[in-house]
Amino acid sequence: MSVTDRVRPQGPSLDEEKPGNRDVRRLAFSQQVSKWDVKLSPYLYISPFFLLFALTGLFPLLYTGWVSLHNWNLIGGQGKFIGFENFGFVLGQPYFWNAVGNTLSIFLLSSVPQVVLALLIAAVLDANLRAKTFWRMGVLVPFVVAPVAVGLIFNNLFADQFGLVNEFLGLLGLDPVRWHSDQLASHLAIATMVNFRWIGYNALIFLAAMQAIPRDVFEAATIDGAGRVRQFLSVTVPMLRPTVIFVAITSTIGGLQIFDEPRVFDQSGLGGADRQWQTLTMYIWELGWGQRNFGRASAVAWLLFLMIVLIALVNFLLTRRIANQGGRK
């Protein structure tokens, strides 16, 4: 094929240029430029974000992948290329799987109640309240508190022997909960901190979406005889679907990367004596900064990345299916 290609005359353009009319060429060129302008400019305008992302997001991502294929010490730097040995090693570690379990557990315990409660709070805020702005700003207050500060305060509340929560349980005649040694209890305590910070924030996002719902839909529903609860379930929630998807995906990303709260949950920050609440990010930290093994830490970081992508996809498909079902009524 290629041979015949070469034999063929080099396209009609040569013949056309022969008349040698410069004006025609210039016109064509400036037309070309304005065509580029129309086509390329939008991308140019949006490019700073992507350039920045390439620098601060994509490059570290790829570089982490490169590091994960080597023996790599925090101070000593790059060592031998060892292929996927780090991945193999990490996948064989019970601590890795323990961390995966903890991360998922804390993620579920925080994300699910978070979305549900945020929806409910948003619905209440959407009602005709006095001093609206006060309440709306009020739910955002926990969000401006630094996570480590939240951690320290809740850590005090959840102290095993002399914590407020256990004192209170004692008043009710209940046994103290061993927040720092029982796995599920520690997850609950950490999820509480996360929820404390993020519910208000998510509630405001839902609130914004709710206010965009045309009011006449509600009026119609009221005329049809739907009560407040029925309206919430059958009108508000279905119309919030895109927002729910957005919140679900972002809270998945955040929930799987949870670090601050479990890290300050006890004094040593390694996730408990039996690693009851060691999350994946904490495991990365332990490998990278505790053991100074950047190679293995990067391997875990990549596995975490893949996990997030996977779960976000599942998330997306699930919510889309629900959305479709609801939408075709």
Partner 1 sequence: MKFPRKLAALSASAACLALALSGCGADAPTSAGPTGETGKEPVTLSLATFNEFGYEDLLKEYQTLNPNVTIQHKKAATTNEARDNLTTRLAAGSGLSDIEAIEVDWLSELKEYPDQFVDLKDPAVEGRWLEWKTEAATTQDGHLIGYGTDSGPEAVCYNAALLEAAGMPSDRESVAKMLGTTWDSYFDAGKKFVAAGTGPAWFDSAGAIYQGMSNQMSKAYENEDGTVIAADNPEVKEVYTKVLNASTKDNLSAHLGQWSNDWVAGFQSQKFATTLCPGWMLGVIEGNAAGVKGWDVANVFPGGGGNWGGSYLTVPSQGKNQAEAKKLAAWLTAPEQQIKAFTAKGTFPSQVEALTSEELLGQTNAFFNNAPTGKIFAERAKAVGDSPFKGPKFFAINDAMQQALTRVDVDKSDDAEASWAKFLTAVKSL
Per CB under 8 A, residues contacting partner 1 are 55-57, 59-60, 63-64, 74-78, 93-95, 147, 155-156, 159-163, 178, 180-181, 198, 201-202, 205, 246-247, 250-251, 253-255, 257, 259, 266-268, 270, 272-275, 289-292, 294
Under a CB-based contact definition with an 8 Å cutoff, are residues 304 and 248 in contact?
no
* Residue number with CB closer to partner 1 (60 or 326): 60
The CA-to-CA distance between both ends of the chain, in Å, stands at 57
* Residue number with CB closer to partner 1 (163 or 262): 163
**Rg from Cα positions in the chain:** 28
* Residue number with CB closer to partner 1 (163 or 236): 163
What is the sign, positive or negative, of the torsion defined by CA atoms of 217, 218, 219, 223? Answer: positive
* Cβ neighbours of residue 225 closer than 8 Å, sequence gap 6 or more: none
Minimum CB separation of residue 236 from partner 1 in Å reads: 19
Closest C-alpha to 64, from 262, 235, 302: 302
Three-state secondary structure call for residue 257? coil
Minimum CB separation of residue 181 from partner 1 in Å reads: 3
* Residue number with CB closer to partner 1 (218 or 246): 246
Minimum CB separation of residue 83 from partner 1 in Å reads: 20
Three-state secondary structure call for residue 93? coil
Minimum CB separation of residue 206 from partner 1 in Å reads: 10
Strands of the chain, DSSP E: 70-73, 77-81
Under a CB-based contact definition with an 8 Å cutoff, are residues 96 and 296 in contact?
no
* Residue number with CB closer to partner 1 (44 or 62): 62
* Residue number with CB closer to partner 1 (95 or 218): 95
Minimum CB separation of residue 97 from partner 1 in Å reads: 12
Minimum CB separation of residue 197 from partner 1 in Å reads: 9
Minimum CB separation of residue 91 from partner 1 in Å reads: 12
Closest C-alpha to 99, from 188, 197, 187: 187
* Residue number with CB closer to partner 1 (147 or 236): 147
| Burial (CB count within 10 angstroms: exposed 0-12, middle 13-18, buried 19+), residue 299 | buried
